[in-house]
Amino acid sequence: MTALSQREAGNFQFDFLRPQHSLYQFFSRLVDQYTELLMGDSVDEGRPQKKRITELEANSSNRFRMLERAKKRAEWVKYQEAQKVAKEEQEEKEKVAYAQIDWHDFVVVETIVFDERDEEAQLPAPTSLNDLQSASLEQKAAMRVGSDRRIEEAMPTFNDYDQFNAYNQQTTPAPAVQPTPPATSAYQPPQQPEDEESARIAELRADRERARAAQAAAKSGPPDNLKIRSDYVPRAAAQRNRQPANTSLCPNCGQAIPNDEIANHMRIEMLDPQWRDQHRLAQQRSSTTNLSTQDVADNLKRLASQRTDLFDPVTGQAITAEEQERRKRVELGSYDGVGGGAGQQQAGLAPGTMGVGGEDRPQGVDEQVRRLHQKYA
């Protein structure tokens, strides 16, 4: 086998001779079977061949042995057919039930709407099976259902006792006539279940009698040493009859607190050093933006200072339409509010140069500043 594998190493048709090939196990099994058939007397001291000969001799000597094997085979085939038929019937019933469902007949119970807060909410990672298995005792105790949420069994009442006794009387069969046991049987095993049932019934009857005695004692009248108040008002009725006090809403917890207790309530809440941080984190999680109004105002002011075409750099206010028109006329060299502008325009002189008659015209920027000071003075 090794020589064949080395000789055909480059032939892809003999790749099954390598142990890592998928057909190597199948090839090895075929080799073992042919080896047992061809050399059965020399493999494993001839045990496979001896076993085969023994089975053949048993079949030849006992013909009913083959019938038993054939019968078992027939029963197994019949069982498989029955299982197949039952499975097909079950699938057919499920298909019919599925087809009978009216998928267009439904009622909308509630509509869940997801907003930006749900998308940005910081939720814990889902718990996996490994986390549950490796959880500590404290974590397991925290995951348990609290005692206030458990469903406890209610205490039995007198009606339950009566129904239980009536049920036992109805369901208990009449004792049958038993033959007299022989004198030799000196010991009989005790009837433990019946004794326990009778003891339980007797205990229930005793409890019922004690409860009835207590009710009778309560109806007969109070004892002599008992003091009875005639002016007692229940606490719930007193709370309803009491006038509502002046209250104020706490800015921290949002509860209605009386005005005479609001100072103490605020002082107690402020004792917690982590309350401010927790409140700030809660507001950040519930807010839709992380920008404050002060930052927005500063950005708008900075933008206004850079747009000199829309806002006055001196006063910071918006430029009116009249001021924009005047600036355009100044840039074009037209009349700026001072006499002689028309002659200057005709002479083609720029603002601030010597005009007709040797008069010095004021510059445009200085005139603008002077007019602004006069306007907003």
Spatial CB neighbours of 143, under 8 Å, sequence gap ≥ 6? 135
Query: 325-367: per-residue pLDDT in tens?
Result: 888 888 776 544 544 444 444 434 444 444 444 444 445 777 8
Q: Which two tokens stand for residue 99?
A: 């087809």
Rounded distance between C-alpha atoms, residue 370 and residue 277, angstroms: 54
More confident residue, 96 or 307: 96
Burial call 350-362: b when 16+ CB within 10 Å, e when fewer: ebeeebeeeeebe
User: Average pLDDT over the chain, rounded to whole?
Assistant: 73
Q: What is the pLDDT of residue 307?
A: 75
Query: 130-173: per-residue pLDDT in tens?
Result: 888 888 777 777 777 665 555 555 555 555 555 555 545 544 44
Share of the chain above pLDDT 90, in %: 8
Strands 256-258 and 247-249: antiparallel
More confident residue, 176 or 226: 226
Query: 78-101: per-residue pLDDT in tens?
Result: 999 999 999 999 999 999 998 998
Rounded distance between C-alpha atoms, residue 341 and residue 227, angstroms: 114
Rounded distance between C-alpha atoms, residue 15 and residue 8, angstroms: 8
More confident residue, 195 or 157: 195
Separation of CA 72 from chain center: 54
Instruction: Using pLDDT thresholds of 50, 70 and 90, give the confidence band for residue 43.
Output: low
Rounded distance between C-alpha atoms, residue 297 and residue 305, angstroms: 12
- Across residues 291-302, what is the average pLDDT? 74
Query: 210-247: per-residue pLDDT in tens?
Result: 888 877 776 665 556 667 777 777 776 666 666 555 78
Going from the C-alpha of 133 to that of each of 57, 122, 136, 140, 320, the distances in angstroms are: 59, 25, 9, 10, 75
More confident residue, 81 or 295: 81
Rounded distance between C-alpha atoms, residue 4 and residue 9, angstroms: 8
Q: What is the pLDDT of residue 342?
A: 41
Q: What is the pLDDT of residue 266?
A: 80
Contact 313, 326 (CB under 8 A): no
Question: What end-to-end distance do the CA atoms of the chain give, in Å?
Answer: 114
Q: What is the pLDDT of residue 341?
A: 43
Q: What is the pLDDT of residue 226?
A: 65
Residue 376 has φ and ψ, to the nearest 5°, of -105, 15
Q: What is the pLDDT of residue 153?
A: 53
Name the residue type at position 88.
E
- Across residues 24-46, what is the average pLDDT? 79
